[in-house]
């Protein structure tokens, strides 16, 4: 069974879209379509139903997918084993980190990884949830933290904790906003860009409270968001721990407790890398740090 055909089949199955699968695989759409057609001819059965909205698995495709995933996992495990044969091998581990992760837990995770593998080359890189997800899907990193529900079929996830969020506003506007929720419509809202895990949650929050912001400001750095609120620029939803720390430090902001909410935080990685030694190392250390 051709390994590239299996990768292409899995990518189309996960995305349900030839164009998205082609982008993920760094191939042209005709090349992806040709590989799927060749695989279907080899198996003498249709694996997908083509529709106006994309590609859906046929019953045969649904049965074939877990077998293809198992073969991809085995191929990856063999590739990892082959790398251990080199006398000059250095184990690399790439982790995607997002801002809501507690810095103390990041330190403890790093210490746990190095205690188990002292010679490992550990690369911790920041990003927002959507960016981390894309780096995992394109195999640039082994795994990473993700905020919000995990919907990608190609990803395994480990729930770590719920991150509590709250609405903050300039201290001078706290009384007005607490008394009249409709006043939130007149505020400028400071939010992160679309690849952040909290963006979709923000839009759901607006719908739930019937808010139509008059103005939005996009800012991807959490501390700057808090500083902008303190300066009277607008309101924002931020992790409760950061809001409380800023208030305790005497920053001129107020926490509107009636607007608290939570988002789940996971660690995610490709399901075909389930048996990757580096992934197993990372998940083992995560279990230790988060007491799972």
Q: State the residue range of the domain holding 55.
A: 3-83
So what's the pLDDT on residue 86?
A: 59
User: Do 278 and 235 fall within a single domain?
Assistant: no
End-of-domain residue from the set 33, 66, 83: 83
pTM of the model: 0.72
User: Do 150 and 133 fall within a single domain?
Assistant: yes
Residues 6+ apart with CB under 8 A from 133: 144, 146, 152, 155, 268
User: Do 280 and 140 fall within a single domain?
Assistant: yes
CA distance 234 to 173: 10
User: Do 191 and 218 fall within a single domain?
Assistant: yes
So what's the pLDDT on residue 90?
A: 55
User: Do 205 and 67 fall within a single domain?
Assistant: no
Q: Give tens-digit pLDDT for 102-124.
A: 999 999 999 999 999 988 889 99
Q: Give tens-digit pLDDT for 21-50.
A: 888 888 888 888 888 888 888 888 888 888
CA distance 93 to 120: 7
User: Do 139 and 277 fall within a single domain?
Assistant: yes
So what's the pLDDT on residue 216?
A: 84
So what's the pLDDT on residue 82?
A: 64
User: Do 156 and 166 fall within a single domain?
Assistant: no
Question: How far out from the chain centre does Cα 273 lie?
Answer: 16
User: Do 75 and 134 fall within a single domain?
Assistant: no
End-of-domain residue from the set 83, 100, 134: 83
So what's the pLDDT on residue 1?
A: 67
User: Do 214 and 167 fall within a single domain?
Assistant: yes
Q: How are the residues of the chain apportioned to helix, strand and coil, as percentages rounded to the nearest 5? A: 50, 25, 25
User: Do 153 and 269 fall within a single domain?
Assistant: yes
So what's the pLDDT on residue 231?
A: 93
Q: How far is CA 55 from CA 18, 21, 98, 215, in A?
A: 7, 11, 32, 38
User: Do 133 and 272 fall within a single domain?
Assistant: yes
So what's the pLDDT on residue 159?
A: 96
- Residue 104: CATH number of its domain: 3.40.190.10
Cα angle: 93, vertex 113, 152; to 5 degrees: 50
End-of-domain residue from the set 83, 111, 142: 83
Residues of the chain falling short of pLDDT 50: none
- Residue 10: CATH number of its domain: 1.10.10.10
User: Do 167 and 258 fall within a single domain?
Assistant: yes
So what's the pLDDT on residue 84?
A: 60
Q: Structural domain tally of the chain?
A: 3
Tell me whether residue 47 is exposed, middle or buried, using C-beta atoms within 10 angstroms of its C-beta: 0 to 12, 13 to 18, 19 or more. buried
So what's the pLDDT on residue 224?
A: 93
């Amino acid at each position: 069974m051709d390994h590239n055909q299996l990768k292409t089949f899995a990518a189309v199955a996960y995305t349900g879209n030839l164009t998205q699968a082609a982008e993920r695989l760094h191939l042209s759409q005709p090349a992806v379509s040709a590989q799927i057609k060749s695989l279907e001819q080899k198996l003498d059965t249709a694996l997908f139903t083509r529709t106006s909205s994309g590609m859906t698995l046929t019953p045969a495709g649904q049965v074939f997918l877990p077998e293809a995933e198992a073969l991809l996992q085995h191929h990856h495990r063999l590739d990892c084993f082959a790398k251990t044969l080199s006398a000059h091998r250095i184990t690399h581990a790439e982790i995607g980190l997002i801002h809501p992760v507690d810095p103390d837990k990041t330190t403890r995770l790093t210490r746990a990884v190095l205690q188990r593998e002292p010679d490992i080359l550990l690369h911790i890189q920041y990003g927002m949830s959507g960016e981390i997800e894309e780096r995992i899907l394109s195999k640039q990193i082994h795994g990473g933290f993700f905020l919000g529900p995990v919907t990608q079929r190609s990803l395994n996830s480990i729930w770590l904790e719920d991150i509590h969020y709250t609405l903050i506003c300039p201290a001078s506007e706290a009384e007005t906003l607490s008394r009249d929720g409709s006043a939130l419509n007149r505020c400028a809202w400071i939010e992160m860009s679309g690849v952040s895990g909290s963006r979709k949650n923000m839009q759901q929050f607006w719908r739930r409270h019937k808010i139509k912001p008059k103005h939005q400001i996009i800012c991807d750095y959490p501390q700057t968001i808090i500083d902008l609120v303190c300066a009277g620029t607008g309101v924002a939803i931020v992790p409760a721990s950061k809001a409380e720390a800023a208030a305790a430090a005497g920053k001129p902001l107020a926490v509107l407790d009636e607007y608290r909410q939570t988002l789940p935080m996971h660690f995610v990685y490709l399901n075909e890398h389930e048996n990757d030694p580096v992934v197993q190392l990372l998940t083992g250390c995560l279990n230790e740090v988060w007491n799972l």
